[in-house]
A = this chain, B = another copy of it.
Amino acid sequence: MRTRPLKVALLGCGVVGSEVARIMTTHADDLAARIGAPVELAGVAVRRPSKVREGIDPALITTDATALVRRGDIDVVIEVIGGIEPARALITTAFEHGASVVSANKALLAEDGAALHAAAEKHGRDLYYEAAVAGAIPLVRPLRESLAGDKVNRVLGIVNGTTNFILDRMDTSGAGYSEALDEATALGYAEADPTADVEGFDAAAKAAILAGIAFHTRVRIGDVHREGITEVTAADIASARRMGCTVKLLAICERAVDGRSVTARVHPAMIPLSHPLASVREAYNAVFIEADAAGQLMFYGPGAGGSPTASAVLGDLVAVCRNKLGEATGPGESAYTRLPVSPMGEVVTRYHISLDVADKPGVLAQVATVFAEQGVSIDTVRQQGKDGEASLVVVTHRAPDAALSGTVEALRKLDTVRGVASIMRVEGE
């Protein structure tokens, strides 16, 4: 074993960073044995230097992250500050100064992953980011490496713990969205400003990263169709239950049937209770992968939190350090298929539509005519009526999303349709 240590710079010392630093200290001997050389925490860049950080030598703390990554003696930079800037500039500077990078930054990778990969390759360094998707659950490595000899056709997953917690609470307690969000906030599952989670931005970033790796093409967050959970109602959840389903916020990445394009989307959807993803509770994450040869694989675990994310970061740290010692690099960006990302309108899906209609003869015939005109085939219809009011619940067969949303627009214009109470896609069948 080499005795000269590999030097690690840690950018960010919050929930994840402090846990990375802690494990690097407490498990130093194990890490050294697994890498083949000791690793030394050479500097920790923070915003608030005065904060007491247990177990970290105060002499290592700096507020000048740029100077730290420019030192020239740093082997690996661990970036856990998040956001686009200054993270992007720091990572690029790290590559220029000879360091490899381990990052947990899903937003940056989904926004500008190609440029970061190019910078890593130009300087012969590694860019690893297992922690950017689904915390401790190994997904990036299995997709990049284990399935490298297979053809992935579909990735379907629950990749945001906050929204899963909220939807699970709505499902189990009958709570409304606001009430469930309040509970998530009180328990620390939702941040003070929950926008990134509840509006689906976090899941969309992960979908972009997963789609890019799975299909060997470039997918940016802007390519991902995104709908959050803020409009999911207790009535939607109850409707799902009546269909033998539950509601989950899903990230879905698919290869088109003709193989010439891919799609990536994040939206709430009904899935059958018999589907394994239906039983993913609280803030857990789980991802299904369908591949030609491997068949259906599922990966399950904690999708966030300091310790699980630190586990993923440290796994990458070991790999990157081994590569450095062996003067090699791991797999870089693989985007050779150059498959375009199709818009949501071309995605083939199914709708569950709940309409408030006039309770009089001929309404169903009118509604059915609209579906037929749009070329959308109906799977089931359920009518319920009382006191001159009635509801009509329609579940369609599979059709392009544009035809389905066109149908909804046409339905809104019917005199006999008083309102569209809820629309939700149905997946996982």
Listed in ascending order, the chain A residues whose CB lies under 8 Å from chain B are 19, 23, 27, 30-31, 33-34, 130, 136-138, 141-142, 145-151, 216, 276, 279, 291-302, 305, 307-308, 310-319, 322-323, 326-329, 331, 334, 336-337
Q: Which residues of B contact A31 (CB under 8 A)?
A: 149
CA distance A146 to B320 in the complex (A): 11
Assuming A33-B336, A323-B328, is B299 touching A147 (CB within 8 A)?
no
- Closest B residue to A319 by beta carbon equals B145
Q: Which residues of B contact A33 (CB under 8 A)?
A: 216, 334, 336-337
Q: Which residues of B contact A292 (CB under 8 A)?
A: 307, 311
Interface contact B311-A291, CB-CB below 8 Å: yes
Interface contact A34-B301, CB-CB below 8 Å: no
Q: Which residues of B contact A337 (CB under 8 A)?
A: 33
**Which residue of B27, B130, B149, B319 is within 8 Å of A151 (Cβ)?**
B27
CA distance A27 to B19 in the complex (A): 42
Interface contact B136-A311, CB-CB below 8 Å: no
Could you say which of A130, A148, A322 has the most chain B C-beta atoms within 10 Å of its C-beta?
Answer: A148
Interface contact B149-A23, CB-CB below 8 Å: yes
Q: Which residues of B contact A323 (CB under 8 A)?
A: 328
> What is the minimal beta-carbon distance from A420 to any residue of chain B, in angstroms?
36
Q: Which residues of B contact A141 (CB under 8 A)?
A: 138, 141-142, 145-146
**Which residue of B30, B149, B317, B329 is within 8 Å of A314 (Cβ)?**
B149
Assuming A33-B216, A151-B30, A318-B149, is B310 touching A302 (CB within 8 A)?
no
Interface contact A293-B148, CB-CB below 8 Å: no
CA distance A240 to B42 in the complex (A): 55
Q: Which residues of B contact A293 (CB under 8 A)?
A: 19, 23, 136, 307-308, 310-311, 314
- Closest B residue to A35 by beta carbon equals B148
Q: Which residues of B contact A146 (CB under 8 A)?
A: 130, 138, 141, 312, 315
**Which residue of B27, B151, B301 is within 8 Å of A297 (Cβ)?**
B301
Interface contact B150-A315, CB-CB below 8 Å: yes
Q: Which residues of B contact A216 (CB under 8 A)?
A: 30, 33-34
Q: Which residues of B contact A23 (CB under 8 A)?
A: 149-150, 293
> What is the minimal beta-carbon distance from A143 to any residue of chain B, in angstroms?
9
Interface contact B317-A295, CB-CB below 8 Å: no
- Closest B residue to A322 by beta carbon equals B331
Could you say which of A146, A291, A316 has the most chain B C-beta atoms within 10 Å of its C-beta?
Answer: A146
Q: Which 4 A-B pairs have the closest CB atoms?
A: A149-B314, A328-B328, A136-B294, A138-B146
Q: Which residues of B contact A296 (CB under 8 A)?
A: 301-302
- Closest B residue to A314 by beta carbon equals B149
Q: Which residues of B contact A311 (CB under 8 A)?
A: 147, 149-150, 291-294
Could you say which of A31, A302, A315 has the most chain B C-beta atoms within 10 Å of its C-beta?
Answer: A315
CA distance A216 to B318 in the complex (A): 14
Could you say which of A19, A151, A317, A318 has the most chain B C-beta atoms within 10 Å of its C-beta?
Answer: A318
Between A and B, 17 residue pairs with Cβ closer than 8 Å are: A23-B150, A27-B149, A27-B151, A33-B216, A136-B293, A136-B295, A137-B297, A138-B297, A142-B142, A145-B315, A149-B310, A149-B318, A294-B301, A294-B308, A295-B305, A295-B307, A297-B299
Q: A27-B151, A34-B148, A300-B300 are in contact. List 5 more A-B contacts (CB 8 A).
A: A150-B311, A292-B307, A294-B311, A295-B301, A323-B328
Assuming A34-B216, A141-B141, A301-B298, is B136 touching A319 (CB within 8 A)?
no
CA distance A316 to B142 in the complex (A): 11
Q: Which residues of B contact A327 (CB under 8 A)?
A: 328
Could you say which of A142, A296, A302, A310 has the most chain B C-beta atoms within 10 Å of its C-beta?
Answer: A142
CA distance A341 to B43 in the complex (A): 40
Q: Which residues of B contact A317 (CB under 8 A)?
A: 149
